Amino acid sequence: MTLAIFDLDHTLLDGDSDYLWGEYMVAHQIVDEAEYRRRNEIFYAEYQRGELENDSYLEFCLQPLTLHSLDSLHNWRTDFVEYWIKPIVAPGTRALLDHHRNRGDTLLIISATNLFITAPIADLFDIPHILSTEPEIIGNRYTGRYLGTPTYMEGKVIALNAWLAGSSHNLEGSYFYSDSINDLALLEAVSIPVVVNPDEKLSVIARQRNWQILDLLRA
C-alpha cells in the first residue's frame, strides 16, 4: 500500500496543538500563567523560525506532566481535544484523508508534538499509525524524559525509517503533507512532497522545485 504521511500542526489543524496545550494549561491554572506563557511564546517563535533547540523545549513541555496523575492528565486532555482541537480542524482535512482512504493508502501522522497530545488527535481522525516524540512513563507517572529519537526535523526521517524497517511498507509512491520548513528533510525523502499552507521559507522552496501547494484552510 502507498503511504500517505501527514504533519499535524498547521497542516491537518489550523493551529499548533503543542502550543495550545500550553495555553490550555494556563487557562485552567495547571501551570503558572506568567512564567509558562513567557517561555512558551519564546519556544514557539523559535520553532516558527526553524531555530528551536528541541531538547530544551521537550524538558520544558514535558515537565508539567510529571506533576499530575495519569487520570487527571487524561481528563484534561479529553476536554482539550473536545473544545480546543476539534474547532481548529482545517476545513479541507477530512476530504483529504478520505481521498487517501478511498485510494487504499495507509495513513500515518508524524509530528514533533509529543505523543501525549497527538495520540487522541490521531484517534479523532481515525488514523491508525502515528510517530511522535514519546514521553517516558514509569510506575504510572510521566518522568519528564522521552524515549528514542524525537520526531523533529531530521528526527522525523530517522523515526520513519525505523518504522519502515519493522513494517511491510516503503516510500515508493509515498506522499508527505507539511506546512513547515522544519520538515524539509522528510519532504525530500518521499516520492510526492505536498506543502500545505506553507510558511515563508518552505513556500519559496516549493515554488522553486514545483512542488504541489495545497490550501486546506479554504477547501
What are the grid coordinates assigned to 154, written together? Answer: 531530521
Helices 17-27 and 33-48 cross at an angle (nearest 10°) of 170
Count of C-beta atoms within a 10 Å radius of residue 149: 17
Catalytic residue among 7, 16, 179, 183: 7
Nearest to 199 by CA among 190, 99, 187: 187
7 is an active site residue: yes
What are the grid coordinates assigned to 218, written together? Answer: 479554504
CB neighbour burial string for 29-44, b if at least 16 within 10 angstroms, e if fewer: ebbeeeebeebbeebb
* Separation of alpha carbons 80 and 92, rounded Å: 22
79 is an active site residue: no
Helices marked H in 50-132: 54-62, 70-80, 93-103, 115-124
What are the grid coordinates assigned to 19, written together? Answer: 502550543
* Separation of alpha carbons 5 and 3, rounded Å: 6
Q: Are strands 134-137 and 142-147 parallel, antiparallel or unpaired?
A: antiparallel
Which residues are the active-site residues?
Answer: 7, 9
